[in-house]
Amino acid sequence: MLNHFLLTFFLLAFAPSVMAGAPSTTPNETTRTGSLAGFSPVTFEDSLSHLYDAIELKAKGLSYEAFRYAMIGFYTLRDEGRLNGKNIISIIDFTKPSTQQRFYTIDLDRRMIIYHSLVSHGKNTGENLAKSFSNVVHSNQSSLGFYITGETYVGSKGYSLKLDGIESGINDNMRERAVVMHEADYVSEYWISKFGRLGRSQGCPALPKKISRDVINTIKNKTVVFAYFNDDHYLASSYYLNVDALMARIPNERVLSAPPVPVDVAELLQVQTHPSVR
């Protein structure tokens, strides 16, 4: 599963250079039919960089570091069979203040930002800036790391999405804490203009009412959400951020195959922006 997805990703990331007249093969023997002999760490890093540039994430304020960490975890979870068939990833960049749009949902197949919006953090995580995180029940703090989306329901906060934290000691109490994704009036430009920051939750990543339902319906049922912060200990110790372990899963000698590149590859690879993105 991982091999097939990485191959598809490699072809999408590098196709513009091939279309521009670059040689039809690389040191990794990418061919017109989609064969790949090995997938080296260098190729992996280069592919991530190309994808980051193609989606124009820098222009939308998402750092390459946050994107890279999110993708390492995404591939690891895909390899473990824990995600659905959608190649969608959501990232919350908690290094940014709450007054900035720091929630991203990205369609990797179409290389397109689907949603880019405000998102809240827990009231004990900080004021405008997120500073501390917790996995403790009743802490009223946000949790770092990788979540997998679950089922939807209608509760006291309206249409909501359950989240499963998958990292022991980091976020695996999310169900017990009732940390879910939901809409909130306090996640709005009006609230920012009145109070100088967003309102804060009890640890839930709350979204603007205008887009919350659409976001939830897009990412529900086993897609990944990565809550990023420049916490050195977490970044160095998370199982899901171990790129060496990820690379070790990929056979270096095995020749992989995938369906031929679509005829209308130019249309497939066109960088797009969803109308909801501002």
**Could you read off the pLDDT of 90-138 as tens digits, one per residue?**
999 999 999 999 999 999 999 999 999 999 999 999 999 999 999 999 9
Question: In which residue are the tokens 């390492």 written?
Answer: 72
Terminal Cα distance for the chain, rounded: 34
What are the tens digits of pLDDT across the range 140-177?
Answer: 999 999 999 999 999 999 999 999 999 999 999 999 99
Say which CATH superfamily domain 2-273 falls into: L,D-transpeptidase catalytic domain-like (2.40.440.10)
pLDDT of 138 reads 97
The greatest distance separating any two alpha carbons of the chain, rounded to the nearest whole angstrom, comes to 60
d(CA 111, CA 201): 31
Q: How confident is the model at residue 1 (pLDDT cuts 50, 70, 90)?
A: low
Domain ranges of the chain: 2-273
